[in-house]
Amino acid sequence: MSWLVKTFTSHTGRKLLAGITGLGLVLFLVMHLIGNLQLFSSSSAFNEYAHSLHSGFLIVLADVGLLIAFPLHIGMVVWLAIDNKKARGAQGYKVANTKQKRNLAAVLASKSTLYGGLVLLFFVAIHVWHFRLQHESIANGTFGGGVGPGDLKSAVIATLSKPHWGALYAIGSLLTGWHLFHGIQAAFRSFGAYHPRYTPIIVKGGGALATIIGLGFTSMPIWVLLR
Amino acid sequence: MSDTINVTLEVWRQPGAKAQGRFERYEMNGVSTHASFLEMLDGLNEKLINEGKEPIAFEHDCREGICGSCGFVINGQAHGPDRGTTVCQLHMRRFKSGTHLVLEPWRAKAFPVVRDLMVDRTSFDKIQAAGGYNGVNVGNAPDANAILVGKEAAGEAFDAAACIGCGACVAACKNASAMLFTSAKVGHFAMLPQGQPERYRRVARMFDEMEAQGFGACSWTQECEAACPKGISVKWISRGKRDYLKAKLVKDSGQSSDDGFAG
Ligand code: HEM
Ligand code: FES
């Protein structure tokens, strides 16, 4: 057993866990985005989607999965970040610079993953409180703001139309995209995956998926604010 | 175009490993643009010695970019602004007159400063000693073609073996990670038939030693590849990780450091 613990607590093992949980979270975000985009439909599709989601098994699976993956992801990356900070030593550099010729966005994204992630953590906490923990009050009509029982769509619109919440959701969504812009390709690197033909596809595809996720989620608070 | 320039240097001075360090400024006037960077520092050191002051300690040996002795950070760039270049191969013609240059030693907990721009890279030796060799007695030098190696594998192995162990990868990495160095050393053996018998034990031991020496993990910023004077690709890191994970999770060797590595 101890070999297993040693393996997954090593730097490479921790990165492996961060990568697996990270990609698990990405999978969740893709489903979450597809579901949420029904907000744009004029019919009651969004409410029906939400209702069937909450009466089914999928939400339990998602809850349990997220409760495992999210803390594990954060735990591993924060633990790594502590080791990484220590590795520089007490005296840092006076001048910061680079010799990289990759595009600036890719370089910056790779260096800001932790900081973006920490802001994300704060955003996710607020988000879960808004729509997951208040699900009961939305269901039984005590949410307020003229939101009828079970009318999740109106509850979402009521929340996002407050400019400070709308702005927070837009920023949180953009940050998610920024985080994944580096994160998706990094996860494959953490698995030790390298191939001269597939790696460029993963890098480009990961960037594209991150952009879709980031802009996809951002479109909702923007749409509500502009309505 | 004149053949001399003036530069201002701001150099990290630290009299000893435990001593407090600080930056000191030096004006260098009339530096020949044909001089190498280290020759310019030689000139400065001559001046300091003549003034009865301590010269600046920096490491160097071959001065032709092959030994890996030299290396420090110039304006935040390991080995200076040129890619694929050690600092001994950097020349003053690269700089404009009036340039301000900040010289700092490699910064890593695993590379403690010995003096000024000189750091102790024993940690690299420790990683190498953990498995970066073939643990079999090979006798006399064998005939070059006694073991046939395919052209592509030989080329790849050579690319990894080009690592001169200078430490620029660690210096440039925001995590002071030694992943590129260690992976290149691991990868060089992993490409060759002679490296196969100990392949997985080697990677497990060298990676574990790297962590024990206090280097950071890889965040995939790819600074190391850009800083490497030999242009060693980050693909070696992916390959090294793959072998490490295989060694730890799949293979029946490599779990512990005392599992009978020959030698
Ligand atoms: C929306 C939820 C999130 C998703 C989908 C996600 C996804 C990912 C992915 C796929 C990776 C790449 C893993 C790897 O490098 O192997 C990653 C890395 C990372 N994540 Fe997240 N993440 C999320 C939330 C967070 C949060 C809340 C934090 C804050 C602590 C965080 C911090 C990090 C850090 C620091 C890394 C880089 C680790 C390193 O480079 O060493 N993530 N994330
Ligand atoms: S002195 Fe040998 S590589 Fe620079």
* Ligand 1 site, residue A74, Cβ cutoff 6 A: yes
Distance CA B122, CA B112 (A): 9
Is A94–B23 a contact, with Cβ atoms under 8 angstroms apart?
A: yes
How far is B14 from B177, CA to CA, in rounded Å? 24
| B233 within some domain | yes
Residue B115 to residue B195: CA distance in whole angstroms: 37
Give the orientation angle of helix A58-88 with respect to helix A45-55, to 10 degrees: 90
Q: Are A185 and A203 in contact (CB under 8 A)?
A: yes
Last residue of one domain, picked from the residues B71, B104, B137: B104
To the nearest whole angstrom, how far is the Cα of A173 from the nearest Cα of chain B?
22
CB-based contact, B153 to chain A, within 8 Å: no
Same domain, yes or no: B158 and B245: yes
Is residue B71 domain-shared with residue B132, that is, in the same domain?
A: no
Do residues B85 and B156 share a domain? no
CATH-assigned architecture of domain A2-89+101-226:
Up-down Bundle (1.20)
- CA Rg value for chain A: 20
Judge whether B29 lies within some domain.
Answer: yes
In single-letter form, the type of residue at position A168 comes to L
Q: Identity (one letter) of the amino acid at A54?
A: H
Its pTM stands at 0.93
DSSP three-state, residue B8: strand
> Cα separation of A203 and A205, whole Å?
6
- What CATH number should be reported for the domain holding residue B131? 1.10.1060.10
Distance CA B116, CA B142 (A): 44
Ligand 1 mean position to A73 CA, how many Å?
A: 7
Q: Are residues B163 and B224 in the same domain?
A: yes
- In angstroms, the CA B150 to CA A79 distance is 42
Spatial CB neighbours of A10, under 8 Å, sequence gap ≥ 6 = B207, B208, B211, B248
Q: Are residues B150 and B247 in the same domain?
A: yes
Same domain, B142 and B81: no
Question: Are B106 and B50 within 8 A, CB to CB?
Answer: no
Q: Residue B54 has what DSSP assignment?
A: P
Q: How far A22 CA lies from chain B's nearest CA (Å)?
A: 14
* Residuewise pLDDT in 10s, chain A (227 residues): 688 999 999 999 999 999 999 999 999 999 999 999 998 887 788 888 888 888 888 889 999 999 999 999 999 999 999 999 999 999 999 999 999 999 899 999 999 999 999 999 999 999 998 887 777 788 777 777 777 787 888 889 989 999 999 999 999 999 999 999 999 999 999 999 999 999 999 999 999 999 999 999 999 999 999 88
| Residue A121 near ligand 1, beta carbon < 6 Å | yes
pLDDT surpasses 80 at B2 = no
Would residue B93 count as lying in a domain?
yes
Of B104, B139, B173, which one is at a domain's C-terminal end? B104
Of residues A7, A26, A25, A3, the one with CA closest to residue A15? A7
Among the partner-chain residues B23, B216, B241, the one whose CB lies closest to the CB of A83 is B216
Domain final position from B43, B69, B104 = B104
Asked if residue B72 is part of any domain, the answer here is yes
Is residue B258 assigned to a domain? no
- Residue B74: which CATH number? 3.10.20.30
What is the rounded CA–CA span in Å between residue A153 and residue A46? Answer: 6
Q: B79 with B160, same domain? A: no
Count of CB atoms situated within 10 Å of the CB of A74:
17
Candidates B103, B239, B248, B258: best to mutate against A (most CBs of A within 10 A) is B248
Is there a single domain that holds both residue B221 and residue B176?
Answer: yes
pLDDT, residue B92, reads 97
Number of domains in chain B: 2
Is residue B218 located within the same domain as residue B95? no
Q: How far apart are the first and last CA of chain A?
A: 57
Tens digit of each residue's pLDDT (9 = 90 or more) over B3-42: 999 999 999 999 999 999 999 999 999 999 999 999 999 9
With a threshold of 0.95, tell me whether the complex ipTM lies above it: no
* DSSP state at residue B141: P
Please tell me whether residues B52 and B169 are part of one structural domain: no
Return the structure tokens found at A166: 């709308």
Q: Residues with Cβ < 8 Å from B244, sequence gap 6 or more? A: A12, A192, B203, B204, B207
Q: Is A176 in the pocket of ligand 1 (CB under 6 A)?
A: yes
**B127 and B248 co-located in one domain:** yes
- Give the domain extent around B31: 4-104
Residues B246, B128 share a domain: yes
Confidence of residue B139 (pLDDT cuts 50, 70, 90): confident
DSSP A3-17: HHHHHHHSHHHHHHH
What region, left, alpha or beta, does residue B216 occupy, with left being phi > 0 and alpha being psi -120 to 50 degrees? beta
